């Protein structure tokens, strides 16, 4: 282990965050890495405890104590070798993972977990800067072909694993560039896109082929792909947004959050200009409906565009700051999360339900809302009731619906030759090997799981690659 007394002698320190005044002027990353010396001190806090609950909580099964020990010893290449054995893209998870591992760290009992997420990012950045990461140009090809549909985290992980096993992999992506929602859905200030470009370039050098601007289901039929490839993996995500059904929903100025975030990312990359279709919050009263990470991303984007005011509302009660008896360690706690976007300027309201959008000349101008109470019924289910005489109105020139996603756009793939079964939630139904009801067609990530986390998508992509390998070998 590292320093047996490290967790007692060293305080937890996370990456530095740029000042609000500075970061609101651009869409660059909000955080800056610590020095190597400080990073080694943070690694020394890992106790290498008897039961590594961090490893238990991580969907990828990352070996945190092992690579933390390598950081402490200054053996950065060994740290990366251990980390990359379970995680294809530490630069992505090190930026956008919610760090399930830190919540389950033994030190998290006292709310002072080991710094894992930031250390993970430091390891992979060190590996790139020192040249430890080089393309493998000597892969023995098995003579078999696999098509991966979608280039989000699940698709990239599946393609990477299969390529390492010697399969020829072609990734089909409907957008102009690979990355899926990593590229188009997550703001640059959380995940700068040069990190994606760097990884894609590496994967291309290793032999993976990316075919962009192609929509499978329209430009190519799934049945045709099935005849041309030994296996197919569908990793298109679950992109159908959850909507709200209230009077005035059809007014102009009300958008799904992802439409807003994608437009800004396209503008940042030069794929879109600020024409009439660009959603601009400058000098406007912005209301974000939905209290999750996507809503927070809208807050940060609106602040950078120069919004007059930003309010984020959530229908659920305000979460507690610390764990309680309903959220015991080592399970993931639903706690109050204040992001860097919130710190930049945002009023937050909880237990608020939207009643009506009020317009003027077809444009939204106000929202009528009502306060709600939440109780637990005799079956243990949460029950919501409106608070009498609590209705109020709020100015709103722009409204963003950040209510999550529901299911995959599966109908794109169905035709008279192939009909993929759906589960009870409307996502692609798969077995334990991630194979669908059609032999040779697999699905992974949000396409089969439903809306979830980047780290779980990567884990699913890796597991699907194993399933595909077994399927082809058995053939």
Question: Do the domain assignments include residue 387?
Answer: yes
Residue 31: which CATH number?
1.10.1060.10
- Do 443 and 409 form a contact (C-beta atoms < 8 A)? no
Query: What letters, b where the CB count within 10 A reaches 16 and e where it falls short, cover 414-438?
Result: eeeebebebeeeebbbbeeebbbeb
Residue 353: which CATH number?
3.50.50.60
Question: Do the domain assignments include residue 195?
Answer: yes
For residue 232, pLDDT over 80 is answered with: yes
Q: Which two tokens stand for residue 376?
A: 């637990």
Question: Do the domain assignments include residue 135?
Answer: no
Question: How many residues appear in the chain?
Answer: 475
- In terms of phi and psi (left: phi > 0; alpha: psi -120 to 50; beta: otherwise), the region of 456 is alpha
For residues 111-125, give the mean pLDDT. Answer: 95
Q: Which two tokens stand for residue 121?
A: 């990012």
Q: What is the pLDDT of residue 80?
A: 98
What's the chain's average pLDDT?
A: 95
The parent domain of residue 429 ranges over 145-239+406-474
Domain C-terminal end among 377, 403, 429: 403
Question: Do the domain assignments include residue 261?
Answer: yes
- Do 181 and 237 form a contact (C-beta atoms < 8 A)? yes
Domain C-terminal end among 356, 371, 403: 403
Question: Do the domain assignments include residue 82?
Answer: yes
Of the pLDDT bands very low, low, confident and very high (cuts 50, 70, 90), residue 11 is: very high
- pLDDT tens, 351-390? 999 999 999 999 999 999 999 999 988 888 889 999 999 9
Q: Are residues 32 and 163 in the same domain?
A: no
Q: Are residues 305 and 417 in the same domain?
A: no
Q: Are residues 347 and 211 in the same domain?
A: no
Q: How many domains does the chain have?
A: 3
- pLDDT tens, 292-351? 999 999 999 999 999 999 999 999 999 999 999 889 999 999 999 999 999 999 999 999
- Do 170 and 228 form a contact (C-beta atoms < 8 A)? no
Of the pLDDT bands very low, low, confident and very high (cuts 50, 70, 90), residue 5 is: confident
172: CB partners within 8 A, 6+ apart: 147, 148, 149, 150, 151, 211, 214, 216, 220
For residue 209, pLDDT over 70 is answered with: yes
**Cα of 290 vs its chain's centroid, Å:** 16
Q: Are residues 155 and 266 in the same domain?
A: no
- pLDDT tens, 246-305? 999 999 999 999 999 999 999 999 998 888 789 999 999 999 999 999 999 999 999 999
Q: Are residues 397 and 428 in the same domain?
A: no
Domain C-terminal end among 70, 99, 129: 129
Q: Are residues 250 and 385 in the same domain?
A: yes
Q: Are residues 256 and 374 in the same domain?
A: yes
Q: Are residues 257 and 390 in the same domain?
A: yes
Question: Do the domain assignments include residue 220?
Answer: yes
Q: Are residues 159 and 268 in the same domain?
A: no
Question: Do the domain assignments include residue 297?
Answer: yes
Q: Are residues 340 and 415 in the same domain?
A: no
- CB-neighbour burial class of residue 10 (10 A; exposed 0-12, middle 13-18, buried 19+): middle
Q: Are residues 152 and 261 in the same domain?
A: no
Distance, in Å, from the CA atom of 185 to the CA atom of 409, rounded to the nearest integer, reads 17
Question: Do the domain assignments include residue 373?
Answer: yes
Q: Are residues 286 and 392 in the same domain?
A: yes
Of the pLDDT bands very low, low, confident and very high (cuts 50, 70, 90), residue 176 is: very high
Q: Which two tokens stand for residue 28?
A: 């660059």
């Amino acid at each position: 282990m590292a320093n047996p007394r490290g967790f007692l002698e060293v305080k937890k320190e996370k990456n530095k965050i740029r000042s609000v005044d500075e970061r609101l002027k651009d869409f660059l990353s909000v955080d800056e890495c610590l020095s190597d010396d400080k990073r080694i001190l943070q690694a020394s806090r890992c106790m290498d405890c008897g039961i590594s609950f961090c490893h238990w909580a991580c969907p990828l099964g990352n070996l945190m104590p092992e690579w933390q020990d390598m950081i402490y010893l200054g053996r950065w290449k060994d740290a990366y070798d251990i980390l990359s054995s379970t995680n294809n893209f530490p630069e992505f998870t090190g930026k956008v993972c919610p760090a399930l591992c830190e919540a389950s760290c033994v030190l998290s009992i006292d709310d002072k977990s080991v710094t894992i997420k930031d250390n993970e990012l430091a390891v992979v950045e060190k590996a790139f800067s020192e040249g430890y990461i080089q393309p493998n140009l000597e892969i023995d090809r098995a003579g078999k072909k696999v098509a991966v549909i979608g280039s989000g985290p699940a698709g990239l992980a599946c393609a990477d694993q299969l390529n390492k096993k010697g399969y020829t992999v072609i990734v089909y992506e409907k957008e102009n560039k690979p990355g899926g929602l990593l590229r188009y859905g997550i703001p640059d200030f959380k995940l700068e896109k040069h990190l994606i470009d760097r990884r894609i370039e590496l994967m291309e050098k290793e032999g993976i082929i990316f075919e962009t601007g192609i929509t499978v289901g329209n430009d190519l039929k799934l049945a045709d792909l099935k005849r041309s490839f030994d296996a197919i993996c569908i990793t298109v995500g679950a992109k159908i947004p959850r909507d709200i059904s209230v009077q005035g929903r059809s007014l102009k100025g009300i958008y799904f959050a992802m439409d807003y975030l994608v437009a800004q990312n396209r503008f940042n990359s030069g794929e879109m200009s600020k024409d009439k279709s660009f959603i601009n919050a400058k000098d406007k009263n912005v209301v974000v409906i939905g209290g999750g990470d996507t809503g927070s991303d809208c807050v940060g984007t609106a602040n950078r565009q120069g919004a007059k005011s930003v309010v984020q509302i959530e229908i659920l009660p305000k979460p507690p700051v610390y764990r309680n008896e309903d959220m015991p360690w080592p399970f993931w706690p639903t706690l109050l999360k204040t992001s860097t976007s919130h710190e930049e300027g945002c009023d937050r309201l909880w237990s608020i339900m939207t009643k009506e959008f009020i317009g003027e000349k077809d444009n939204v101008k106000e929202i009528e809302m009502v306060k709600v109470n939440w109780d637990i019924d005799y079956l243990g289910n949460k029950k919501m009731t409106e608070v009498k005489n609590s209705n109020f109105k709020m100015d709103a020139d722009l409204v963003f619906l950040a209510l999550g996603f529901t299911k995959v756009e599966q109908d794109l793939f169905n035709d008279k030759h192939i009909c993929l079964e759906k589960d009870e939630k409307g996502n692609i139904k798969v077995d334990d090997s991630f194979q669908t009801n059609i032999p040779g067609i697999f699905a992974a990530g949000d396409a089969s799981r439903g809306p979830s986390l980047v780290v779980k998508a990567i884990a699913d992509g890796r597991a699907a690659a194993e399933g595909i390998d077994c399927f082809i070998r058995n053939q």
